């Protein structure tokens, strides 16, 4: 073996031994190159004052999850619970989203979850076009760093951002659409599922959409 490689391996071995003596038996080899630009992006998002939503917010909700994921979920905007805690999808709709993610054989922390706009619109109204225009650079930067293979959009606002079409959700869902080399699967928003709790047809459609995502990612 090359002397340099041998030296390098013995160095690594020594370090692992040192970590294990400290009781650390897990060393992350995830690329640090993503984390530091992501942190500075997060800082920018947290201090954003680009649109009037900044005035009404309690907390900014940048997003959360794995940066090394192939799968990103994008909702519309934070709601009341999310605004209070600064975390995406943690209210009733979020709990349902977590169940869907788990049913897809992922853990919530294995995927990345975010929204089109990062601050709560008053009374949970849909975000305005100008608010989306000001905020969307953050989402695009997040996607540029994560480089997922699939984006699942939740609801019409998120679908409309990625897919240039005048069709409604029922026509859009069920098929992949392409956005900057990423496959986008639009599906219904979990709040819509909750509002139509007895409607098995909608639930079935969402599950069909998620199965297509799982098949694409080789997760069956
Ligand atoms: N609805 C959304 O679209 N996003 C959230 O984060 C929570 C509810």
**In this predicted model, what pLDDT tens digit does every residue of 158-174 receive, in sequence order?**
999 999 999 999 999 99
Assign 96 a pLDDT band (cuts: 50, 70, 90): very high
Q: How many angstroms from the chain centroid is the CA of residue 49?
A: 22
Which atom of ligand 1 is closest in space to residue 115's alpha carbon? 4
Lowest mean pLDDT, pick from 24-33, 58-67, 208-217: 24-33
Assign 220 a pLDDT band (cuts: 50, 70, 90): confident
* Of the candidates 182, 115, 183, the residue with the CA atom closest to the CA atom of residue 155: 115
Given a cut of 70, is residue 4 above it in pLDDT? no
> What's the whole-number mean pLDDT along residues 76-101?
98
Q: Could you count the other beta carbons within 10 Å of the beta carbon of residue 186? A: 27
Beta strands in 3-105 (DSSP E): 64-65, 71-75
pLDDT digits (tens, 9 = 90+) for 48-79: 999 999 999 999 999 999 999 999 999 999 99
Instruction: Tell me, yes or no, whether 6 lies in a domain.
Output: no
Buried b (16+ CB within 10 A) or exposed e, 124-154: eeebeeebbebbeebbeebbeebebebbbbb
Number of separate domains in the chain: 1
Q: Which domain holds residue 119?
A: 28-216
Which atom of ligand 1 is closest in space to residue 81's alpha carbon? 7
Instruction: Tell me, yes or no, whether 15 lies in a domain.
Output: no
* Of the candidates 126, 123, 145, the residue with the CA atom closest to the CA atom of residue 45: 145
Given a cut of 70, is residue 15 above it in pLDDT? no
Assign 33 a pLDDT band (cuts: 50, 70, 90): confident
Q: Is residue 93 within 6 Å of ligand 1 at its C-beta?
A: yes
Which atom of ligand 1 is closest in space to residue 154's alpha carbon? 3
Instruction: Tell me, yes or no, whether 19 lies in a domain.
Output: no
Q: Is residue 83 within 6 Å of ligand 1 at its C-beta?
A: no
Q: Could you count the other beta carbons within 10 Å of the beta carbon of residue 119? A: 26
Instruction: Tell me, yes or no, whether 7 lies in a domain.
Output: no
- Please answer whether residues 189 and 173 qualify as being in contact, where contact means their C-beta atoms are separated by less than 8 angstroms: no
Mean pLDDT of the chain: 92
Instruction: Tell me, yes or no, whether 12 lies in a domain.
Output: no
Given a cut of 60, is residue 16 above it in pLDDT? no
pLDDT at res. 11: 67
Query: With 0-12 CB in 10 A as exposed, 13-18 as middle and 19+ as buried, what is 54?
Result: middle
CA dist 22 and 191 (Å) reads: 46
> What's the whole-number mean pLDDT along residues 3-31?
59
CA dist 104 and 123 (Å) reads: 32
- CA–centroid distance, residue 132 to ligand 1 (Å): 15
> What's the whole-number mean pLDDT along residues 38-56?
98
- CA–centroid distance, residue 219 to ligand 1 (Å): 25
Q: How many angstroms from the chain centroid is the CA of residue 107?
A: 13
In the structure encoding, which two tokens stand for residue 171, read together? 């026509």
Residue of higher predicted confidence among 126 and 18: 126
Instruction: Tell me, yes or no, whether 78 lies in a domain.
Output: yes
Q: What is the DSSP letter of 114?
A: E
Query: With 0-12 CB in 10 A as exposed, 13-18 as middle and 19+ as buried, what is 164?
Result: exposed
Instruction: Tell me, yes or no, whether 5 lies in a domain.
Output: no
Q: 185: domain CATH number?
A: 3.40.470.10
Instruction: Tell me, yes or no, whether 48 lies in a domain.
Output: yes
In the structure encoding, which two tokens stand for residue 156, read together? 């019409």
- Please answer whether residues 158 and 76 qualify as being in contact, where contact means their C-beta atoms are separated by less than 8 angstroms: yes
∠115-121-126 over CA atoms, to 5°?
A: 70
Q: At what angle do helices 200-216 and 92-103 cross, to 10 degrees?
A: 50
């Amino acid at each position: 073996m090359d002397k340099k490689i041998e030296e390098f391996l013995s160095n690594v071995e020594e370090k692992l031994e040192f970590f294990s003596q400290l009781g650390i038996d897990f060393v992350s080899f995830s690329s640090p190159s993503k984390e530091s630009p992501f942190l500075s992006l997060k800082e920018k998002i947290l201090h954003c004052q680009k649109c009037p939503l900044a005035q009404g917010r309690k907390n900014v909700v940048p997003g959360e999850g794995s940066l090394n994921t192939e799968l990103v979920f994008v909702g519309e905007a934070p709601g009341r619970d999310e605004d209070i805690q600064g975390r995406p999808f943690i209210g009733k709709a979020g709990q349902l989203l977590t169940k869907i993610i788990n049913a897809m054989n992922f853990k919530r922390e294995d995927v990345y979850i975010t929204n089109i706009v990062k601050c709560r619109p008053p009374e949970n109204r849909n975000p305005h076009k100008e608010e989306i225009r000001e905020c969307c650079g953050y989402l695009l930067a997040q996607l540029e760093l994560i480089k997922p293979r699939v984006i699942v959009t939740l609801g019409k606002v998120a679908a409309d951002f990625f897919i240039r079409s005048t069709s409604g959700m029922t026509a859009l869902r069920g098929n992949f659409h392409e956005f900057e080399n990423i496959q986008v699967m639009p599906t219904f928003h979990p709040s819509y599922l909750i509002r139509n709790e007895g409607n098995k047809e909608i639930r079935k459609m969402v599950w069909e959409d998620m199965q297509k995502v799982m098949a694409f990612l080789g997760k069956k």
